[in-house]
């Protein structure tokens, strides 16, 4: 990646901030995580598990929708504002433009996934210390007198409310939103995630690992989804791109189901056709493994090996799709 590509990526990220796309999905994601907190309160024994499962589903769904939306509009907006011709008049190759826009999408989604994962871990900390006496003992042994403050429900609610109050601030103050950049947001989000992960690991170690690995797999999945959207956007309109990308996403998420159709209910020809489709689309079901895999309870699928294989699979698909996108965009007539 050269300087021109990185500059295009940063510009795309700033456009997402300027259009309030990132802040809108952050607010929606935070609301969904808090809704999961209400769902978890309905169960005494499984409250943490319900909150975590619901939170990861929220992160996955919204992150993929962001990827599809931003990918579908990467070329249309440049054409509408006539900025594309200014870019191409400079020493910027078309493949650099495609790669820069793609990286801008990934930067935006990285901030979203990091912030919502941190919020999810904050909620896990909030409810895990109430559900487990042994967790409270581990917390007290780890942080000493500070644990008395953390174990106070009022203090933890106040801290969580403070984090949530920071999210809409850029919407209220335009100057603050314009001052934000990737260099400011991503390290801040990463620090927030690291802090809440360290605290949550004391009271709920298994669920903390589950959230962190699940968020990593979601980001790996989004690299493929964004590349699919960029591929369709290189030769189609935003509406058609969004429909096609969403269709591919639904099919790719259903590959396991299509490969294991019951023989009684589906004829051989239908099963063969569906299994043929699974061979030409990415297997996004790979990024939503069973809970036992993420908790390292499956001896047939070691966690580290599984994550490495999944991320490598995503990198290969993303590279191939981006290469095809660059080729199609290079041949497109923009007049």
314 vs 218: CA distance, rounded Å: 11
Range with top average pLDDT, 171-175, 228-232, 291-295:
228-232
Place of tokens 């011709």: 85
Tens-digit pLDDT profile for residues 251-285? 898 887 777 766 666 677 777 777 777 788 898 98
Range with top average pLDDT, 77-86, 127-136, 298-307:
298-307
Per the CB < 8 A criterion, the answer to whether 229 and 241 are in contact is yes
Whether the predicted pLDDT of 130 surpasses 50: no
Picking from 77, 56, 74, 75, the residue whose alpha carbon sits closest to that of residue 66 is 74
Q: What is the pLDDT of residue 65?
A: 92
Q: What is the pLDDT of residue 133?
A: 45
Tens-digit pLDDT profile for residues 235-250? 888 888 999 999 999 9
| pLDDT range class, residue 302, cuts 50, 70, 90 | confident
Tens-digit pLDDT profile for residues 137-184? 555 555 555 555 555 555 555 665 666 566 555 555 555 555 556 666
Stretch 75-90: mean pLDDT:
72
Name the more confident of 324 and 276: 324
| pLDDT range class, residue 190, cuts 50, 70, 90 | confident
Name the more confident of 161 and 314: 314
Domain limits of the chain? 3-331
| pLDDT range class, residue 25, cuts 50, 70, 90 | confident
- The DSSP element (H or E) to which 18 belongs, if any, is helix 3-18
Whether the predicted pLDDT of 308 surpasses 90: yes
């Amino acid at each position: 990646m050269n300087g021109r590509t990185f500059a295009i990526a940063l510009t795309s990220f700033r456009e997402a901030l300027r259009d309030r796309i990132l802040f809108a999905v952050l607010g929606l994601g935070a609301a969904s995580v808090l809704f999961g907190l209400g769902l978890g309160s309905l169960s005494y024994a499984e409250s943490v598990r319900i909150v975590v499962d619901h939170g990861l589903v929220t992160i996955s769904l919204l992150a993929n929708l962001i990827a599809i939306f931003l990918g579908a509009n990467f070329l249309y907006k440049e054409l509408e504002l006539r900025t594309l011709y200014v870019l191409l008049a400079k020493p910027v190759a078309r493949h650099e433009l495609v790669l820069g826009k793609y990286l801008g999408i990934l930067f935006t989604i990285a901030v979203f996934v990091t912030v919502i994962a941190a919020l999810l871990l904050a909620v896990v900390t909030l409810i895990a210390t109430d559900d487990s006496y042994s967790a409270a003992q581990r917390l007290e042994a780890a942080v000493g007198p500070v644990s008395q403050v953390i174990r106070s429900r009022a203090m933890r609610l106040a801290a969580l409310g403070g984090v949530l109050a920071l999210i809409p601030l850029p919407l209220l103050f335009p100057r603050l939103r314009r001052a934000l950049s990737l260099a400011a947001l991503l390290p801040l989000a990463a620090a927030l995630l690291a802090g809440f992960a360290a605290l949550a690991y004391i009271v709920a170690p298994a669920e903390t690992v589950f959230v962190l690995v699940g968020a990593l797999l979601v980001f790996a999945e989004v690299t493929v989804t964004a590349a699919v959207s960029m591929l369709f956007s290189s030769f189609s309109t935003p509406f058609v791109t969004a429909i096609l990308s969403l269709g591919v996403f639904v099919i790719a998420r259903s590959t396991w189901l299509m490969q294991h159709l019951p023989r009684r209910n589906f004829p051989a020809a239908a099963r063969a056709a569906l299994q043929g489709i699974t061979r030409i689309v990415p297997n996004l079901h790979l990024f939503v493994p069973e809970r036992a895999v993420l908790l390292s309870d499956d001896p047939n699928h070691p966690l580290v090996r599984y994550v490495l294989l999944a991320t490598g699979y995503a990198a290969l698909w993303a590279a191939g799709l981006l290469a095809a996108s660059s080729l199609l965009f290079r041949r497109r007539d923009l007049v």
